[in-house]
Each structure stands twice: as C-alpha cells, then as structure tokens.
Chains A and B, each alone.
Chain A
C-alpha cells in the first residue's frame, strides 16, 4: 500500500477541494469493502485516501416532491431500514438485504457499489430499472448522468478523478407500479450473485403498460434487457407472458455469453430467477 496521507471529510466542499488538490494521486473511500481489498492487493495505488463515510450531506434517503434521493454514502443497512421507501420499492430493499453479511451491509455503501461497477453489484439492476440518475460534483460544477450511461465497462465508470458521486435519484413508485428483485447466490450470506434480475412494471387493466428489466452477472456489467422489455409491453398479466419473457431472456444470454464458462447453467437458471422477480413486481403493482 502506498497510502501516506489520509483525510476524513466532514463537509462536501472540503472533500471536493481535496479531490481537486490531489486529483491524480487520491482515491475516495466510503465503506472500504471493495477498496481495502484492492489496496492490499496493490490493484490500486493511491497515495491519498479521502473518506466520505461520515459526510452527512451525501448520507441518507429523502423524498423530494415525487423523487426519491439516496445519498451515495448511505449504507445498505440504512437503506433496508429506511421508512421512506414504500412497499412498491420492496425489490430495492431486497437487493440491499442480499448483500454480503450484516457486518458488510453496516458499512458498505450504495455509491461504492455503483462506482466499483462489478458485474455482480447487487444494487445496480434495481437502480437501472428505476431509470436512476446520478448527481456528480467537482469543486466547480455539478452534472447529472443516467446510471446506464455512467457504467462503461466492468469496473469502469464515467467519473473523473476530481469528481464525487453525491446522490442517486429516481421517480417514486406509483400505486400501479412495482419493483421485484430476485437473486441466485451460492450461499445466502456472503453470496456474490451469480445472477440477479430486477423487474419494474406498471400494470393497467391487467396488462403490462410499462416494463423494465435489468440483469446482474449476465454480462460484463449490470444491463437493461430492452429486447425482452419490448416483447412484454402491452401483453396481459398471465403465465404465458411470463414464459415468453423467460424464454427471450434465455436467448439473450445464449447470444451474449456464447463460448463463455457457465453459459449453459446461466441460461437455464435465469428463467426461474426472472419469473420470480416478475411475479413479485406484478404482485406489488396490485397491492
């Protein structure tokens, strides 16, 4: 580890100033659950660490008009316990609950999960189907970008070295909408998802008026499955529609993972995981 200077930020402006000053030699640390391992394996070699885990300005969950805003330094435990997320968003809580162990959830943050951009990052699929927007700042300006555009490649995101991810925002869920999440892990605790699916639906007169689907660990990134979404649009809420979606996802995985290890397993498993997520989302849209 080359770290020889550390700062524990208490105000956003101060952190942004430090990031500017140490632009090429620093790393932001939040929960540290990804970064500390990378530091110890010398996969990243910053000299300066800037802690944001106590930065109140980017912690916690708020509802602003009809938008939900999640601070990047919010831990998974805080998300799971938040009174501001209503039932329809159960899938988001479920994804957070499925992360690691209690000890990991108590410090690991939503922002760290996004910026680390692992293909198996659990909070990414539900945030993708919520059409999340990220609020990013440097000392001079702020910008917004969709989560989908922010994710460039495995472990690679659209974030400059002087920038900080501050908030994640999405439209609050309406009565006839629901978000479901399902994950296949090796073992319940500490399972890094093999595959996960998040489904967001809007149901009107027993038909799918809007559908958004995202998968985790089925690509080098968490991705939206737009071809499958298009197929389900306007279809009735019934077993046949669910089967149609499951088979379409299977085809997607066969194409995308052709020749890769685990394809045969994943293309079968994805169908059950998808059906569970869709069933939950549909149920939530009706209650």
Chain B
C-alpha cells in the first residue's frame, strides 16, 4: 500500500493504492469515476483516454503510482454547472454517439486537440482521434461533431471559461 496525491477534475485527492494497480483501476474503482472505460487494456482502443498534465494518455498504460502529483481530466470534468461542454453538445447535436463506449475517450482526444488548435482541418481531426477506436459510427459523424465544436469554441472565445 502507498498513498498518492493527485488532482482529478480540479479536486485534490489523496488515495491509498495497491502498488500493482493501474491509474485506470484507481479512477474507476476507488474514485468511482466510471466514465473512463476499459476496452482492450493494451493501449490499442483509447476507451480509457484521459488528459494528464495537458496531454492524452491511455489510463490502462499508466501505473497508478506514476500519477503522483499529476493533474488529470476525465470525462466527468468536462461539463460544468452551466451545462455540457461545447464538444459534448456538438456530439449530441451531430448524432455522433451510438453505443457510447468510445465517446468519453473521443471527447477527451477532441479537447486535447482543440485546446491547442481551434481551427483544425478534417485531416488534423482524424489524426487527433486516430488512437480512439469506434465500432459503431464509422467516424464521419464524430469528425463532423469535432468540427462543429471547434466553431462553437472559437465563437465563445474563452475555452477554459465554458
């Protein structure tokens, strides 16, 4: 057992962990943030994507102890009191969600892209979600949604304030 300190969605946590667990396990089983999904458990599918210190990572590919001192954003950290994040809104409006299993990861990959580049072209969007597999949608509507979100976010200006 070991205690680690990390910040998730703006909240400081101090968690007792077993030393052989992954960050994915801590998020889901201990912090009960079950929006982060486990698909393959091997870094291939992106269902477990989170943002850690500003970049996307697969949380199945991070040991929990390695997250000491890190700042993490999960899907639960996207919406605010004033409503859904523009990326989430665009996903709903474009019908980009079918079974939904891949969507938390898709939304976070989209956020990591749009935080750096508010005017991506379709190729850049496809590249940004190239580590997120979806077995339902065929990707086109997801790309449409991210494109739409980029316009929302461009208009609304202050991305972080939303």
Chain A: residues with CB nearer than 8 A to chain B? 1-6, 8, 29, 31-33, 36-37, 39-40, 49, 51, 53-54, 77, 100-104, 106-107, 188-190
Residue among A51, A100, A107 with the most chain B CB within 10 A? A107
Q: How far is the CB of B140 from chain A (nearest CB, A)?
A: 17
Q: Which residues in A have their C-beta under 8 angstroms from that of B65?
A: 6, 8, 49, 51
Do B43 and A8 touch across chains, with their CB atoms under 8 A apart? no
Q: Which residues in A have their C-beta under 8 angstroms from that of B62?
A: 32, 36, 107
List 5 interface pairs A-B (beta carbons < 8 Å), by A numbering.
Answer: A101-B46, A103-B131, A104-B43, A107-B62, A189-B131
Residue among B46, B62, B63, B128 with the most chain A CB within 10 A? B63
Given A5-B19, A36-B22, A40-B41: A103 and B63 interface contact (C-beta under 8 Å): no
B22-61 vs A, Cβ < 8 Å mask (1 yes, 0 no): 1000000000000000000111101001000001111011
Name A29's closest neighbour in chain B (CB-CB). Answer: B63
Bound CA span A37–B22, Å = 11
Q: Which residues in B have their C-beta under 8 angstroms from that of A106?
A: 55-57
Do B131 and A6 touch across chains, with their CB atoms under 8 A apart? no
B2 interface hit (Cβ, 8 Å)? yes
Given A106-B57, A107-B57: A51 and B66 interface contact (C-beta under 8 Å): yes
Do A32 and B130 touch across chains, with their CB atoms under 8 A apart? no
Do A36 and B63 touch across chains, with their CB atoms under 8 A apart? yes
Do B66 and A8 touch across chains, with their CB atoms under 8 A apart? yes
Do A103 and B43 touch across chains, with their CB atoms under 8 A apart? yes
B74 interface hit (Cβ, 8 Å)? no
Do A101 and B130 touch across chains, with their CB atoms under 8 A apart? yes
Which of these, A3, A37, A104, contacts B19 with CB under 8 Å? Answer: A3
Do B43 and A3 touch across chains, with their CB atoms under 8 A apart? no
Do A103 and B19 touch across chains, with their CB atoms under 8 A apart? no
Name A106's closest neighbour in chain B (CB-CB). Answer: B55
B16 interface hit (Cβ, 8 Å)? no
Residue among A29, A36, A37 with the most chain B CB within 10 A? A36
Bound CA span A6–B1, Å = 10
B68 interface hit (Cβ, 8 Å)? yes
Q: How far is the CB of B131 from chain A (nearest CB, A)?
A: 3
- How many residues on the B side are at the interface (Cβ–Cβ under 8 A)? 29
Given A3-B20, A106-B57: A100 and B66 interface contact (C-beta under 8 Å): no
Bound CA span A53–B62, Å = 11
Do B19 and A6 touch across chains, with their CB atoms under 8 A apart? yes
Bound CA span A31–B23, Å = 13
Which of these, B42, B66, B112, contacts A37 with CB under 8 Å? Answer: B42
A-facing residues in B66-114 (Cβ within 8 Å)? 66, 68-69, 109, 112
Bound CA span A188–B126, Å = 11
Bound CA span A31–B43, Å = 11
Which of these, B2, B112, B130, contacts A6 with CB under 8 Å? Answer: B2
Do B66 and A77 touch across chains, with their CB atoms under 8 A apart? no
Q: How far is the CB of B105 from chain A (nearest CB, A)?
A: 9
B127 interface hit (Cβ, 8 Å)? yes
Given A8-B65, A51-B65: A100 and B19 interface contact (C-beta under 8 Å): no
Name B105's closest neighbour in chain A (CB-CB). Answer: A103
9 closest residue pairs by CB, A with B:
A101-B131, A189-B130, A6-B65, A3-B20, A106-B55, A1-B20, A103-B131, A6-B19, A103-B58
Do B128 and A102 touch across chains, with their CB atoms under 8 A apart? yes
Q: Which residues in B have their C-beta under 8 angstroms from that of A31?
A: 61
Do A188 and B61 touch across chains, with their CB atoms under 8 A apart? no
Do A32 and B19 touch across chains, with their CB atoms under 8 A apart? no
Bound CA span A263–B112, Å = 41
Q: How far is the CB of A18 from chain B (nearest CB, A)?
A: 13
Q: How far is the CB of A94 from chain B (nearest CB, A)?
A: 14
Bound CA span A1–B21, Å = 9
